[in-house]
Each structure stands twice: as C-alpha cells, then as structure tokens.
Structure 1
C-alpha cells in the first residue's frame, strides 16, 4: 500500500512540488472556469435582467461554499492523518480514516440539507439578498442543496487522493466534473429553457458523475489506501482527530461565507443590486488566482505530511520555501494581468454602463493585496499537514473573520462603497503579517534540525514542533 507513496520522501523537492501541484492547479482552474461559465450564460439568458440574475448567483455562492466546507473538513483532516500514516507505515490507520471519511460524507450532507431547504429564503435574506436577486438565488440554490451529498463526498475524496500523492487522478476528477458542467449548462439553460435552475442541475449531474468515478477508484482497490467495507463504521477517535485538524479549513470556508453576509449587506446599503453583481464577478475573476495558489498549497500538503511522519524535516523546510516563492510570484503576475484586462473581463458578463464603471473601480482596489495571499494559504496548509490544529485554525480564520469583517464594518462608515472594496487589501496585509510571524517560528525549527548532529535530533525536533 504505502510503497505507492514512497516517492514523497525521496524525489527532488522542486520536481515533486511541480508534479503534485500542476495537476491540482489545472483541475481547480477548470472548476473556476465552469463557475465563470455559469455566470456568463446567465448574463446571456437574462439580458436586461442580467445584473439581478448574476447577483442571485453571487448571493447563492457563499451558501454553496458552506455545504462544500463539510467536505473540506473531512478532506483536509482525513488527508493530513492519512499522509502522516503512510509516512509512518501505519496502513491500518489510513484505511480506517478512509472508511470514516466515506460514511461521514453521507451523514453530514443529509444533516445539512434538511435545515437549509426549510429555511432557504430566510438564509438568503441574511446573506443580503434583495427583492431583485432573491428569486434567482432561491431557484439556483435549492437544487445545489438537494445534491449536497456529491459535493461533500467529491471534495473530501479529492483531498484524500492527493494525500497519497495521486494528484493526477484528483485533477482528472475535477476536469471531468468541470468539463461536463460546461457542456451541460447550455443544454439545460437554453435547450430546456430552465435559466438558473438549469445551471444548478447541470452542476449537480456533473459532480455526481465525477464523485462516482472517485468512488470506483477505491472500491476497485486502485488507491494507495485500501478500502474495506468494515472501516465505514464510525470510529470516535478518528472522527475527533479529523475534526480537530480539519476545523481550520472548515472555519476558513465558513468564515468566507460569514464574511459575505457583512459584505453583501454593506453592498446592498452603499451600492445596491449593481454592487452585489460587481462583487460576485470580481470574486470569480480573482478565483483564477486564488485557485492557483490553493492548488500549490494542496501539492505541498502530502509532501509535508509524509516527510513529517518520516522525520525528514529538512525536506519540509525546502518545500515550504519553494512554495512561498511560487505563490507570491503567481499572485503578483495575476494582479498585473487582471489590471490590464479589467475592462475586457468585466464585459464578458454584462454591458450595463453602471456595472462596468463600478467594476473597474472595484477591481483596482479589491485585488491590491493579492500577492500577499500566498503566505496565508501556504502557512495554513503547513500547520494542517503537521496536524497542528490550533495554529491552523487561527490562520484559517485570520483573513475573513479576524481582519476582513471588522474592516468591512468600519471602513464604509468613512469611505462608503470604496470602504467595502478597501477592506480586502487591508485584511490581506494583516493576515500576511500574522502568517509570516507564525511561519518564522516553525521554519526555524526545521532549519535547525538540518544542522543538528544529535542522534535523537528527530525526536527533539518533533517536541519543539509540538510546543508551537
């Protein structure tokens, strides 16, 4: 089993990160593309009402992300345990974790769907849905909630697949789901005349097929971790460990949605439906940069987890350094490209003059902190992979909860709508400083272990890490 993951502790770090990250980045970019395509087709279908329809999808998105966050908590928690178990050659533990992730995916998705469907309209109003955008948000989201199982399972298992070093399979699953969605969108939206409902149905069907493919991979015994039906039985100890490690990622996703409650309500107050639509479009454009950074972080995770289990700390230090250089470079290049193409990008979704003027100003301000985001993403992933739940949790909530929400509340009182846009680079800067401080502490420990001549240097380094 674990022989399939041995390369994580042997291969050249630079080549290893490239090998693991590129497939994940490609898969995530495909997902970003089909999210953009949804909005693009909505703009075409609704014409004069496109601003309200795009706003409806924007309001629905944070609720959709909360559903997917349950898959992320299972995936990040489970993958961290599995990668360390593979490094320590604990195959039975890895199998039990895999089985528990499978069973929890089904249970959690059902528990989510019931209250979300029953209280859908009140939930959307909390997120700032105005009378103009509410019908579109409702029509889209109710189908997404009904298909919640495939979203939770798909996101969780993609992370598990990456933890064993099979980034290509995770990429193929995302490409399969994203490609089908791009193909099915016009079929349901135009062919069947279903509008935003068709976009949601196309998304659920696409993700169902991709999730089935991932399920068959493990059922057929092709994974580095073997699936056994008896491991589906919930193990309280494993569930607690998954929850402790994955809570940081869960809170990060949920805090993003909670943040949007404040943002959308501020936008409704200072800008109305047009500002809500602009924000949704800018976030989708920015998702191409963020998904790339996230893919690099996902590529780092199994390298850190495996080598931590194998006590090869110098490899972790090198991997983190290279990942930081890469994410910072991508963030800077992405920012420059978007700045130069902002008018063309905004024009893909609507030609409304007010929307275009507002959008150009929003992009210029909102994305200023993009080159700094890589530090937060990489550092959060590092602590998750090490199984350090508390620092991972703190870093995961820093941008959205600790810094962005207070900025969104305070700055508009002085700068109105521009204050909403400015809250984003302010929070990016503060999260960068916090992440840099915490990374310096742990990175120094890894570097010290490289030069230590003590026979018990590995155990001493592990103790230092535990005290962080």
Structure 2
C-alpha cells in the first residue's frame, strides 16, 4: 500500500496542474449530470409524456440533494488538500473521515425529511396529478441513496486532493456507463419503465462510490477510522466551506425559476 507523503501541488508546473485538474473535473461533472440526462432520454423513448415529465420534475428535486453533496465534497477537497499541503497526513485522513460521516448523516436526513413531504415539494415546482405520482414513486427509490452519492463525491474530492486526477475522474465515468447499460435493460427488456430508470441510477451510484473508495483507501489510506471527537471538531470547518458552496450551486436555478414565475 502506497501512502502519499509528498503533496502534489506544491511543486511542478502550475499551468499543468490547473489544466489537468480542470479537464478531468469537467469530464467527471459532465458524467454525473449525464446520468439524469440518460434517464430522461430512455424514459422519453417509452412515448409516455407523463413519465418523461415525471423524470424531469424528479431530477429537479434531486438536484438540490446533489447540491448538498457537492458542497460537502468541496469541503472535503479543501480541508484534505490543506492538510496535505502542510504535510500532515493524519489531519488529512481525519478530515476525510469526518466529512464522509457528515455526508452519511446529511444523506440520511435529506430523505427522512423530504420523502414524507414529497407531494408538497413536487407541487411547489408545478408537478400535478399522474406526473406528480410517478415522480414521487421515482424519488422514493432514488432519494434514500443520497448518502451513497455523498460518499462517492467525498471520495472523489479526496482523490483530487491527493492530485490523482485520473482516478478521481473514473468513478463518474463508471457510474455513467453503468446507468447507460442498465437503463435500456431495466426500462425496456424487463418492462420496469420509470422504476427501472430509478433502479439503474441507484446501481450507478453504488458503482461510483465503490470505484472512488477503492483507490482512496487502497492506494492512499486516505480515511482514518471516524472518531466522534474529530467529527465534532471538523463539523464547523466543514459547514463554513460547504454551506456557501451549496448556496452558490443552487443560486442560478433558483434565481432562474424566480425570474420566470
């Protein structure tokens, strides 16, 4: 097992660091959002407008859950990279573990709070009748895996903090591929329709998380065993980074929605 003892971004060509990390991050983000696009594309092939609309409304709700996970992943990357830059690997491991635990806690709270109120939430964005019922069923399958998605994003951010651009990009590509392969099988071959798209997304999230955690643990030993003291200590710093990042992520779509109402 190889431990990262030398930070990747404190030496070498700065332009190369920026270019490589920006390119791989862009590809990874496109793959993440491609999952939703693939779902809607295959659902639309069923020729049922209500199901396609339901997938669209559900994607809007899922975006806000994803925004929280994106904010937490930004916090993980910032805290871990800072520790590695200071050549304090123990702190880096503890930060990674703390954010991972926080991501799990938040990932459990989101569906616990959202799902019982899903009819009301969908009505806020205009979903009604058959469309709302289908969207709610879709979300009851996917939202409980918010914690899995959060863990995957956190592990990817940690890999990026270690400067491993390639391995940080692969999880999103694997998840997108799994989703693209399973969607037609579950939706059409097994006749599961919208439920099949949801199940494909769940399996894609699991594949993404496993693909991210394996190199993070195996190659870098990037996570320590979580300790309550460290989690409590790191919660404030995580929140200070994650909350503004979440607000920045949701500001544009919320502002756009407001302007068109």
Corresponding residue for residue 203 of structure 2: 205
Query: Following superposition of structure 1 onto structure 2, how do residues 300-311 of structure 1 map, counting pairs within 5 Å?
Result: none
| TM-superposed deviation, 1:176 | 0.7
1:168 pairs, out of 162, 166, 169, with 166
Q: Of Structure 1 and Structure 2, which has the larger fraction of its residues in helix?
A: 1
Corresponding residue for residue 82 of structure 1: 80
Say which SS state the counterpart of residue 45 (structure 2) adopts: helix
Corresponding residue for residue 238 of structure 2: 242
Q: Which runs of 5+ in 1 are unaligned?
A: 260-399, 410-468
Say which SS state the counterpart of residue 260 (structure 2) adopts: helix
Measured in 2, the distance between the counterparts of 1:60 and 1:406 equals: 19
Normalised by the length of structure 1, the TM-score is: 0.52
Note closer, same or farther for the CA distance 1:158–1:82 as it changes in structure 2 (3 Å cut). Answer: same
Corresponding residue for residue 439 of structure 1: none
| Counterpart contact for 1:73–1:156, Cα < 8 Å | no
Corresponding residue for residue 217 of structure 2: 219
| TM-superposed deviation, 1:81 | 1.5
RCO higher in 1 or 2 (8 Å CA, sep ≥ 6)?
2
| TM-superposed deviation, 1:140 | 1.6
Corresponding residue for residue 407 of structure 1: 259
Measured in 2, the distance between the counterparts of 1:232 and 1:2 equals: 25
Larger Rg: 1
Note closer, same or farther for the CA distance 1:88–1:182 as it changes in structure 2 (3 Å cut). Answer: same
Note closer, same or farther for the CA distance 1:198–1:233 as it changes in structure 2 (3 Å cut). Answer: farther
Measured in 2, the distance between the counterparts of 1:31 and 1:405 equals: 22
Corresponding residue for residue 106 of structure 1: 104
| Counterpart contact for 1:21–1:167, Cα < 8 Å | no
Measured in 2, the distance between the counterparts of 1:145 and 1:406 equals: 25
| Counterpart contact for 2:72–2:154, Cα < 8 Å | yes
Corresponding residue for residue 23 of structure 1: 24
| Counterpart contact for 1:103–1:232, Cα < 8 Å | no
Corresponding residue for residue 7 of structure 2: 5
Measured in 1, the distance between the counterparts of 2:12 and 2:96 equals: 26
Measured in 1, the distance between the counterparts of 2:106 and 2:78 equals: 20
The superposition leaves residues 237-264 of structure 1 with CA deviations (integer Å, 9 ceiling, x where unpaired) of 311001101111112334456x1xxxxx
Say which SS state the counterpart of residue 193 (structure 1) adopts: coil
The superposition leaves residues 324-370 of structure 1 with CA deviations (integer Å, 9 ceiling, x where unpaired) of xxxxxxxxxxxxxxxxxxxxxxxxxxxxxxxxxxxxxxxxxxxxxxx
Corresponding residue for residue 412 of structure 1: none
Note closer, same or farther for the CA distance 1:230–1:100 as it changes in structure 2 (3 Å cut). Answer: closer
Measured in 1, the distance between the counterparts of 2:105 and 2:240 equals: 18
Note closer, same or farther for the CA distance 1:210–1:232 as it changes in structure 2 (3 Å cut). Answer: farther
Normalised by the length of structure 2, the TM-score is: 0.90
1:252 aligned to 2:255? no
- What is the aligned length? 259
| TM-superposed deviation, 1:44 | 0.8
The superposition leaves residues 420-459 of structure 1 with CA deviations (integer Å, 9 ceiling, x where unpaired) of xxxxxxxxxxxxxxxxxxxxxxxxxxxxxxxxxxxxxxxx
| TM-superposed deviation, 1:202 | 0.2
| TM-superposed deviation, 1:231 | 4.4
| Counterpart contact for 1:188–1:199, Cα < 8 Å | yes
Note closer, same or farther for the CA distance 1:406–1:113 as it changes in structure 2 (3 Å cut). Answer: closer
Alpha-carbon RMSD = 2.1
The superposition leaves residues 29-78 of structure 1 with CA deviations (integer Å, 9 ceiling, x where unpaired) of 33333322211111111x1x32x322212211121122222322221112
Q: Deviating runs (4+, > 4 A) in structure 1? A: 230-234
Measured in 1, the distance between the counterparts of 2:214 and 2:227 equals: 16
| Counterpart contact for 1:100–1:233, Cα < 8 Å | no
Corresponding residue for residue 94 of structure 1: 92
Measured in 2, the distance between the counterparts of 1:178 and 1:238 equals: 32
| Counterpart contact for 1:102–1:232, Cα < 8 Å | no
| Counterpart contact for 2:7–2:87, Cα < 8 Å | no
Note closer, same or farther for the CA distance 1:121–1:407 as it changes in structure 2 (3 Å cut). Answer: closer
